[in-house]
Amino acid sequence: MQNGNRRALRLGANAGLRLAALVIMLFGVLRSSADPTPLRRNLKALPYKIAWECYVNGNWEICVMNADGSGKVNLTKTPGVNEHYPQISPNGKQIAFSVDNGEGREAVRTLWVMDIHGKHRRQIADHAREPFWSPDSKTLGYLPQEYAPFNVVDFYTKGMMFYDLATGKTTPHPNTEKLRHLYNPGFSPNGKWIVATVHAGMGFSHSIVLIEAHGDRILDLKIPGCRPRLSPDNKHIAWGPEDHELAIAPIDLASDTPTVGTWSLHIKDEKNKIYHINWSPDNRYVAFSRGPDGEGDLSKKGSFQAACEIIGVYAGGWNLYAVSAERTGAIDMEKATEADVTQLTTDGNSNKQPAWFSTRQSGRK
Amino acid sequence: MKHPLQLLAPVVLALLLTGCNPNELGIKVRPQSNTPGSTSGSGNGASVAITTKSGVAMVYVPAGSFTMGSDQGSPEEAPPHKVSVPAFLMDQVPVTNAMFEKAQLPNPSHWQESPKQPVERVRWRDAKQYCNERSRLEGLKPCYDEKTPEWDCDYAANGYRLPTEAEWEYAARGTSDGPYDFGSKDALRQYAWFAENSEAKTHPVGEKRPNSRGLYDMYGNVSVWCEDVYDPKYYATSPVDDPHGPPSPGKDVKRVLRGGNWKVSADLCRATFRQGERTGNTDACFSTDYCGLRCVRRIKPEELAQLQTNKNKG
């Protein structure tokens, strides 16, 4: 009988412990969903949204969400039209993007502009790629394709053109004849330079360069990697030193010969690729894309085969993330917690090319 | 018992060797000045240099058998084994910057000072795309199906493709059973750009001596992609007739890269030396600046003979 009592007591105690553990666990779950980390909370409070290229129902679209990843909206909703590479004008009112039509070498990439609400589309150029905005939002730069037959490789470009949105006139960069194999261009916010990557062109093997916006100087920034983005305040550069790294460092764009300083933030991910870093309008955050290595998926309509960070290549498992750009030191994505990094998308459906904009400027809610 | 056409083949080839006549494919046939007197294999006739419709110099390599591999080199070169390959045309030189750009493809080369430098930093699939583009330029049927994940090869198509590993070694070894078809390693400087003489860069193609089949830069300058999946143990199970390499494992595939290059020592320029390389297909900026290519295409002696006959009738 005594043994029976002890057994009953033990069972009761175990059940109590289990119940307590369950309550603690539930409390933790509820707390974490109701009480986001400071980083997510800060992102939520920002008057910003992020546009990016998403893949919805077998089609490339441009989506928009709040800076904390909430409120995802398919902005373009154009089944059958493959939009990607959204670039928001500095005044937050327009989106430039590219559209692919066709397959293989017969495909044609065209450039378009629409307002921030996704309306009033107009075509800017064909056989062209990678549009970029002048600081005054009045001119759209772009890179003509090297030859007419399509190739998905990102450095397949020759020359540089500027499209005036008011007049519809296109003028070449003064050094256009010498510009070859550039990609991922962007104006410096002070308007003096265009930062870009060059691969196998202009006498460079592979470099990140500054190209004088209205002249013929070309400066090698002497940093490894690709896809640079300059902060809106002209003070920092963010880029990918290699497939599994992102970095932020100071740059003195006011100088006659700008140079890049010591890296302030170094994001690493041994397992996944990390790409497409881009700045928030207040220079305080960066968003980027992350996902496994791959070479596209031809079963995905409108997708080409190449490294999956390339525009037009389906990137299975890729999502968007945001971190504070004010942090210093290193972030290891394999060990990072919600306190370090906020995951913005979760469907892994080829989420790439984040581009921030201010809802105050754009008027978009 | 041989088919009558097979008996006629050497005669027809002899006829071909006497002239420089464009045929209906636009191929001009001329005698190869450096044709082998004899071959280590059972090649049915001599090598012949031709120019294709799009102006590319190629060498006709007759069908034959040879001993592939070596038991004197690295373990993956063994065992030596008998292999037969059908006749084929092979580019006389590695594909150059100018040739690659003629196909309107983005030239990824580190060195572009000269249009005659070999193209390098070429991903495996980009090399295949070049082959298909050249096939289209000449009205031939492309070998590669660009809609399949690994761009499957139709060996029966008459277009251009990358050589099989066996074709490459057969073409490289020419008349020789040894590691270099020209004899000893001491002569390598006359035939190849490699670490000892390259000054750490590629050089315009065709500046060194050709091998015994009339092929230039087979032992150096850039290594070239082959069609085969790389498997260090493949020689133990390789079929005799026209081996195409093991099946693809699907992920993390390495493909065969053959021939020496500007970066490597003489030992790695040997005709039997094997290496596998990641394809670079998942790399936006493939930086392996010794990976080039050289195209082949299948052609039967009867096809050459028929072309010549048509020309004579015309």
Question: How would you write chain A as a 3-class SS string?
Answer: CHHHHHHHHHHHHHHHHHHHHHHHHHHHHHHHHHCCCHHHHHHHHCCEEEEEEEECCCCEEEEEEECCCCCCEECCCCCCCEEEEEEECCCCCEEEEEEEECCHHHCEEEEEEEECCCCCCEEEEECEEEEEECCCCCEEEEEEECCCCCCCCCCCEECCEEEECCCCCEEECCCHHHCECEEEEEECCCCCEEEEEEEEECCEEEEEEEEECCCCCEEECCCCCEEEEECCCCCEEEEEEECCEEEEEEECCCCCCCCECCCCEEEECCCCEEEEEEECCCCCEEEEEEECCCCCCCCCCCCCCCCCCCCCCCCECCEEEEEECCCCEEEECCCCCCCCCEECCCCCECCEEEEEEEHHHHCCC
Half-sphere exposure of A10 (CA within 13 A, CB side): 6
Interface contact A147, partner B, CB < 8 A: yes
Least CB–CB distance from B282: residue in A154, A200, A293: A293
CB contact under 8 A, A147 and B104: yes
Could you tell me if B70 and B272 are in contact, meaning their C-beta atoms sit under 8 angstroms apart? Answer: yes
Least CB–CB distance from B105: residue in A151, A226, A307: A151
Interface contact B114, partner A, CB < 8 A: no
User: CA A90, CA A362: separation in Å to the nearest integer?
Assistant: 10
Least CB–CB distance from B110: residue in A200, A294, A309: A200
Interface contact B70, partner A, CB < 8 A: no
Contact residues, chain B, for A155 at CB < 8 Å: 106, 108, 285
User: CA B101, CA B92: separation in Å to the nearest integer?
Assistant: 18
Q: How far is B110 from chain A (nearest CA, A)?
A: 5
Long-range contacts: B231-234, Cβ < 8 Å, 24+?
B231/B276, B232/B75, B232/B76, B232/B274, B232/B276, B233/B76
Is cis: bond before A185, omega within 30 of 0?
Answer: no
Contact residues, chain A, for B125 at CB < 8 Å: 305
Q: Per mean pLDDT, which range of A20-24, B11-15, B297-301 is the poorest?
A: B11-15
CB contact under 8 A, A181 and B106: yes
Interface contact B314, partner A, CB < 8 A: no
pLDDT confidence of residue B305 = 66
Q: How far is A192 from chain B (nearest CA, A)?
A: 28
User: CA B221, CA A151: separation in Å to the nearest integer?
Assistant: 27
Mutate to test the interface with A, among B147, B285, B288, B289 (most CBs of A within 10 A): B285
User: CA A1, CA A288: separation in Å to the nearest integer?
Assistant: 67
In sign, the C-alpha dihedral spanning A98, A102, A103, A104 is: negative
Which residues contact residue A35 at a Cβ distance below 8 angstroms, ignoring those fewer than 6 apart? none
pLDDT band at B9 (very low <50, low <70, confident <90, very high): very low
Q: Which residues pair with B203 in a beta bridge?
A: none
Could you tell me if B125 and B162 are in contact, meaning their C-beta atoms sit under 8 angstroms apart? Answer: no
pLDDT confidence of residue B287 = 85
pLDDT confidence of residue B19 = 34
Interface contact A108, partner B, CB < 8 A: no
Query: pLDDT per residue over B214-233, tens digit each?
Result: 999 999 999 999 999 999 99
Q: Which of B32, B60, B71, B46 is nearest to B178 (CA)?
A: B71
pLDDT confidence of residue B252 = 85
Q: How far is A103 from chain B (nearest CA, A)?
A: 10
Interface contact A299, partner B, CB < 8 A: no
Per-10-residue mean pLDDT, chain A, length 365: 50 58 49 70 97 96 98 96 98 97 95 97 98 98 98 97 98 98 97 97 97 98 97 97 97 96 98 98 98 94 94 97 97 96 98 95 68
Q: CA dihedral in degrees (B96, B97, B98, B103; nearest 10)?
A: 100
Mutate to test the interface with B, among A150, A198, A275, A295 (most CBs of B within 10 A): A295
Contact residues, chain B, for A147 at CB < 8 Å: 104-105
CB contact under 8 A, A151 and B285: no
B136, burial (CB in 10 Å: exposed 0-12, middle 13-18, buried 19+): middle
Q: From A152, which residue of chain B is nearest by alpha-carbon distance? A: B106
pLDDT band at B176 (very low <50, low <70, confident <90, very high): confident
Q: Look at strands A170-172 and A161-164 and give their pairing.
A: antiparallel
CB contact under 8 A, A146 and B106: yes
Interface contact B285, partner A, CB < 8 A: yes
pLDDT confidence of residue B177 = 84
pLDDT confidence of residue B250 = 85
pLDDT confidence of residue B306 = 59
- B311-to-B19, B49, B178 alpha-carbon distances in Å: 12, 18, 40
Residue B35 has pLDDT above 50, yes or no: no
Report DSSP letters for B39-58, one per residue.
Answer: -SS--SS--EEEE-TTS-EE
Residue with tokens 């082998």: B36
Residue B3 has pLDDT above 60, yes or no: no
Interface contact A199, partner B, CB < 8 A: yes
CB contact under 8 A, A205 and B110: yes
Q: How far is B266 from chain A (nearest CA, A)?
A: 26
CB contact under 8 A, B285 and A199: yes
Residue B128 has pLDDT above 70, yes or no: yes
pLDDT confidence of residue B93 = 98
Residue B278 has pLDDT above 70, yes or no: yes
pLDDT confidence of residue A189 = 95
Q: Look at strands A128-133 and A122-126 and give their pairing.
A: unpaired
Contact residues, chain B, for A294 at CB < 8 Å: 282
Q: From A146, which residue of chain B is nearest by alpha-carbon distance? A: B106
Q: Per mean pLDDT, which range of A189-203, A217-231, B119-133, B167-181 is the poorest?
A: B167-181
Count of beta carbons in the 10 Å neighbourhood of residue A204: 18
In sign, the C-alpha dihedral spanning A167, A171, A174, A180 is: positive
Buried b (16+ CB within 10 A) or exposed e, A248-282: bbebebeeeebebeebbbbbbbeebbbbbbbbbbe
Could you tell me if B122 and B92 are in contact, meaning their C-beta atoms sit under 8 angstroms apart? Answer: no
Contact residues, chain B, for A156 at CB < 8 Å: 106
CB contact under 8 A, A298 and B149: yes
CB contact under 8 A, B283 and A199: no
Q: How many residues make up chain B in this entry?
A: 314
CB contact under 8 A, B104 and A149: yes
pLDDT confidence of residue B211 = 96
Query: pLDDT per residue over A159-216, tens digit each?
Result: 999 999 999 999 999 999 999 999 999 999 999 999 999 999 999 999 999 999 999 9
Could you tell me if B119 and B293 are in contact, meaning their C-beta atoms sit under 8 angstroms apart? Answer: yes
A82 or B35, which is more confident? Answer: A82
Contact residues, chain B, for A149 at CB < 8 Å: 104
- A343-to-A72, A88, A289 alpha-carbon distances in Å: 13, 22, 10
CB contact under 8 A, B281 and A104: no
pLDDT confidence of residue B81 = 97
Mutate to test the interface with B, among A103, A105, A298 (most CBs of B within 10 A): A105
pLDDT band at B153 (very low <50, low <70, confident <90, very high): very high
CB contact under 8 A, B285 and A147: no
